[in-house]
Amino acid sequence: MATARKGRELFTILETSADTESTAACDSQDSPLNLSADVKWFEIPYRKPDSDEEDELREEEEEEDGGGGEGENGFTSTAAAAAAETADAASFIAGGGCNIILVTGSNGLKHDEEEYAEDCYYSTSTNCSDTTSNDSDIDFSDLEEEEERRSFFSFEDDLDEDCTSPDFWGEPDQVISIEPFSAVSGPQHSLGDDADTRDYFRILFPDSLFEHMVEQTNNYALYRQRRSGKSDPHWHPTDVREMKAYVGLNILMGINQLPDTGMYWASDIFIGNAGFKKTMTARRFEKLTQYLQLCDRESEPVRGERGYDGLFKIRPLLDVVENTMWDAYVPNRCLTIDKCAIVTKGRFSPTQYMSSKPLRKGLTVWMLCDSRSGYCHRAKIYVGRPSEDEAAACLGYRVVTSLVRGLEGQYHHLFMDSFFTSVPLLQRLLRDGQYACGPTQPGRKGYPEVLRPRNVGKLSQGEFYQCQRGNLVATVTRDAKVVSCLSTNSAPGIVGISPGRQQHEADRDGENDSIDSSGLSFGVPRPLPLLLYQENMRGVDLCDQLRECYQVGRPCKKWWRYFLWFYVNLCIVNAYIILRESRGGAPPAGFNGKQFTQRHFRVRLAQQLIGDYQGARGMERAARKRHADSPIEYGHRLERMSERSRRCRNCTNKGLRHESVFGCKICNVHLCRGGCFSEFHK
């Protein structure tokens, strides 16, 4: 059954039936799609329309039939009439520049040309995802930054091919060539089976960083005291053991979350944490937080000087962590590029306001993550609008090329959102041996004029147009809304249907025709680029889910602290992924639980970072307990403490109020001259 616009036939509805289901190729091992096994797919052979005379005869026959659009199986398709000013574009589409397909919930398809499968080449490979996709959950929302969007249009491509030429795009009947991915990928380390969580974390966050943090923290404390002209009586230099314990306490704060930091040291037995009290005092924790530093503040260049760096305060951390994250895990075949936001309360010029996002105000970080595991290979911090020297370069173009630097010629498949995807970028990636797929904005440079909304007209769900130039395929379709996308890893003319949620009850108004015998309802048919995008565009989301479950660090007014704890948290997530993939899901030695989750990993890591470290107050308590049997033998004796009387600690513990000038200097407490001394030390 064909539905034609006035004058020329635009598309053909390919009907499916149960008779052809047995001959479908979607369940075979030679499936050309990089999709899960539950996705039903079809190959649509490209066929040019007949001559004008045959079109007119066919149109007259349809008018004699009553003008009805129903086929034998009751399927209907309608196409909105094109505007008068877009007649040229419509004639191009009618001439074979695009395909439109509307299919139903059957997985069989009878081709008009049996040899089409041999003519179309698509390399087979293993799936990049093990999960089943559901109905449309694709978000193709635009980004909010107008100046970044304008940079797409002003970007001048340096390639030889002019993507704005009218002859650039052609008919979607060309054979695409996709090289197989054969590089070695996965975790790269030399740890044995006896390695624990601390060993995996050390791969990404080495001990040299802790030593650097200790050195710069001690220097910054002296720098602050010199500037103020006063010494801090509550500060003494820190060391590596104490810094590791400090980081471990911050990790535990993300698991046991309380509204205020001081509540962890509260005297209330239902609120206070005995482990925190044993590790260090609340005042010591506050002092470490106050003087924590990563750089030499005395040598920091000011804005306008030569060598100024907006990320100078965290540059030592970035130089180490970016290399360790890249070397610890060799990227797999499918990668995701997307942005994440960090909520901040401090003042930092690159802070962005995004009204349509859940986190409306925050710092932006571009991330390159594995589509399957969520491992973050690289992260690039947004530091504001580009300088005059970079004005000619597109922001999204520069972000993607910097994130994938070092992957040239390895035939990775990149999936990105509409903020990045453009014709010049996909041409550059294809030239470098990298395939890409993602939605785009139809008004960007190089996108086919005939596929823009004003020329395509109104689409029904499942209909799509395509244009092609080599491996580069442009598609416009209607899913939940009209979507335009570009891809270099998808053959044209392939459509698939993802299984939806299981239907337990029939609809109240009647039975649902889209329910098959297995009880699964099938959604709207989508072309291959959108299916691949939906299957693999979740790497950054997986990383964000693991990272946001347990935050590290506390809110503050210093912007660089957010990035410090962001990278510490990112190293924890990456270390957990490396451990999970290296051990095949098996927990480390000594774990008795059923399943080793991220929470167990974080608790175990924090315990190993803290170790047996005890601050001054903790050592006093340990000594008090250790020498309780014979306090005088170990130097504990009753002597005059001060001229001013203080409350007796032993009487206070019993709810009494007595004061004394005597006490124990080793325990640093005032005690009554009676039996309080011996009773307190027992």
We report the CATH number of the domain holding residue 464 as 3.30.2170
Look at residue 91 and tell me whether its pLDDT is greater than 60: no
Do 587 and 670 fall within a single domain? Answer: no
Do 173 and 307 fall within a single domain? Answer: no
Structural domain contains residue 55: no
Cα angle 354, 355, 357 (rounded to 5 degrees) comes to 70
Do 417 and 532 fall within a single domain? Answer: yes
DSSP state of 76: B
Domain stops at, among 615, 638, 653: 615
Measured in whole angstroms, how far is the alpha carbon of residue 456 from the centre of its chain? 34
Closest CA to 551 of 250, 292, 348, 247: 250
Q: Find tokens 């810094």 and name the residue.
A: 243
pLDDT in tens, 113-152: 333 333 333 333 333 444 333 333 333 333 333 344 444 3
Distances (CA, A) of 605 to 566, 573, 632: 17, 12, 40
- Kind plus residue range of the DSSP H or E element containing 610: helix 598-610
Distances (CA, A) of 258 to 254, 268, 271, 339: 9, 14, 9, 29
Half-sphere exposure of 115 (CA within 13 A, CB side): 1
More confident residue, 64 or 546: 546
> pLDDT class for 609, splitting at 50, 70, 90?
very high
Structural domain contains residue 85: no
pLDDT computed for residue 629 by the predictor: 44
Cα gap 45→150, rounded to integer Å? 38
pLDDT computed for residue 18 by the predictor: 31
Cα gap 64→114, rounded to integer Å? 32
Structural domain contains residue 135: no
Look at residue 16 and tell me whether its pLDDT is greater than 60: no
Do 280 and 395 fall within a single domain? Answer: no
Contact in structure between 85 and 10 (CB atoms under 8 Å): no
Residues 89-107: what's their mean pLDDT? Answer: 35
- 436 three-class SS: strand
Q: Find tokens 């392939």 and name the residue.
A: 494
Contact in structure between 110 and 20 (CB atoms under 8 Å): yes
pLDDT in tens, 534-554: 999 999 999 999 999 999 998
Do 430 and 463 fall within a single domain? Answer: yes
Least confident of 194-203, 257-266, 339-348, 560-569: 339-348
Domain stops at, among 585, 615, 645: 615
Tell me the range of 407-411, 646-650, 678-682 where mean pLDDT is highest: 407-411
Residues 65-88: what's their mean pLDDT? Answer: 37
pLDDT computed for residue 184 by the predictor: 92
Helix axes 240-255, 598-610, angle to 10 degrees: 150
Do 606 and 637 fall within a single domain? Answer: no
Look at residue 524 and tell me whether its pLDDT is greater than 90: no
Structure tokens at 538: 């979740």
Average pLDDT over the chain, rounded to an integer: 75
Cα gap 1→527, rounded to integer Å? 21
> pLDDT class for 58, splitting at 50, 70, 90?
low
- 259 three-class SS: coil
Closest CA to 598 of 618, 578, 613: 578
Measured in whole angstroms, how far is the alpha carbon of residue 242 from the centre of its chain? 32
Helix axes 539-549, 559-582, angle to 10 degrees: 110
> Exposed (0-12), middle (13-18) or buried (19+): which is 15, by Cβ within 10 Å?
middle
Look at residue 411 and tell me whether its pLDDT is greater than 80: yes
Residues 465-478: what's their mean pLDDT? Answer: 92
Q: Residue 492's CB: how many other CB atoms inside 10 A? A: 26
Look at residue 200 and tell me whether its pLDDT is greater than 70: yes
Cα gap 335→537, rounded to integer Å? 8
DSSP state of 450: G
DSSP track, 555-587: --S-HHHHHHHHHHHHHHHHHHHHHHHHTTTPP
Structural domain contains residue 139: no
Residues 178-185: what's their mean pLDDT? Answer: 91
Residue 296 belongs to domain spanning: 186-330+550-615
> pLDDT class for 8, splitting at 50, 70, 90?
very low
Residues 272-293: what's their mean pLDDT? Answer: 94
Q: What are the E-state strand segments in 118-225?
A: 186-187
pLDDT computed for residue 666 by the predictor: 80
Cα gap 316→309, rounded to integer Å? 12
Phi, then psi, of 611 in degrees rounded to 5: 60, -135
Do 441 and 579 fall within a single domain? Answer: no
Contact in structure between 416 and 338 (CB atoms under 8 Å): yes
Structural domain contains residue 445: yes
More confident residue, 406 or 162: 406
Residues 74-98: what's their mean pLDDT? Answer: 36
Helix and strand numbers (H, E) in the chain are 20, 23
Domain stops at, among 592, 615, 638: 615
For the chain, the domain total comes to 3
Cα gap 279→459, rounded to integer Å? 65
Structure tokens at 374: 């969520």
Do 214 and 234 fall within a single domain? Answer: yes
Structural domain contains residue 674: yes
- Kindly state the percentage of the chain with pLDDT values over 90: 41
> pLDDT class for 219, splitting at 50, 70, 90?
very high
pLDDT computed for residue 43 by the predictor: 60
pLDDT computed for residue 383 by the predictor: 75
Closest CA to 411 of 328, 488, 327: 488
Do 391 and 539 fall within a single domain? Answer: yes
Structure tokens at 509: 């108004």
Cα gap 198→178, rounded to integer Å? 41
Cα gap 18→104, rounded to integer Å? 11
Half-sphere exposure of 537 (CA within 13 A, CB side): 20
Q: Find tokens 């109240």 and name the residue.
A: 508
> pLDDT class for 55, splitting at 50, 70, 90?
low
> pLDDT class for 457, splitting at 50, 70, 90?
confident
Do 576 and 456 fall within a single domain? Answer: no
Distances (CA, A) of 675 to 650, 661, 682: 10, 15, 11
Structure tokens at 464: 């799509």
Closest CA to 338 of 137, 188, 141, 472: 141
Structure tokens at 510: 């009647």
Measured in whole angstroms, how far is the alpha carbon of residue 607 from the centre of its chain? 28
Cα gap 404→82, rounded to integer Å? 41
Look at residue 341 and tell me whether its pLDDT is greater than 70: yes
Contact in structure between 197 and 575 (CB atoms under 8 Å): yes
Do 493 and 368 fall within a single domain? Answer: yes
Residues 337-355: what's their mean pLDDT? Answer: 70
* Residues in CB range of 279: below 8 A, 6 or more apart: 245, 248, 249, 610, 613, 614, 615, 618
pLDDT computed for residue 60 by the predictor: 56
Look at residue 173 and tell me whether its pLDDT is greater than 50: yes
Structure tokens at 35: 């999709």
Measured in whole angstroms, how far is the alpha carbon of residue 36 from the centre of its chain? 21
pLDDT computed for residue 308 by the predictor: 86
Closest CA to 670 of 652, 59, 376: 652
Q: Following CA atoms 433, 434, 440, 442 in sequence, which dihedral angle do they give, to the nearest 10 degrees? A: 10
Structural domain contains residue 677: yes
Do 365 and 471 fall within a single domain? Answer: yes
Structural domain contains residue 11: no
Look at residue 556 and tell me whether its pLDDT is greater than 70: yes
Q: Which residues pair with 647 in a beta bridge?
A: 659
Q: What is the 3-state secondary structure (H, E, C) of 611-655?
A: CCCCCHHHHHHHHHHHCCCCCHHHCCCCEECCCCCEECHHHHHCC
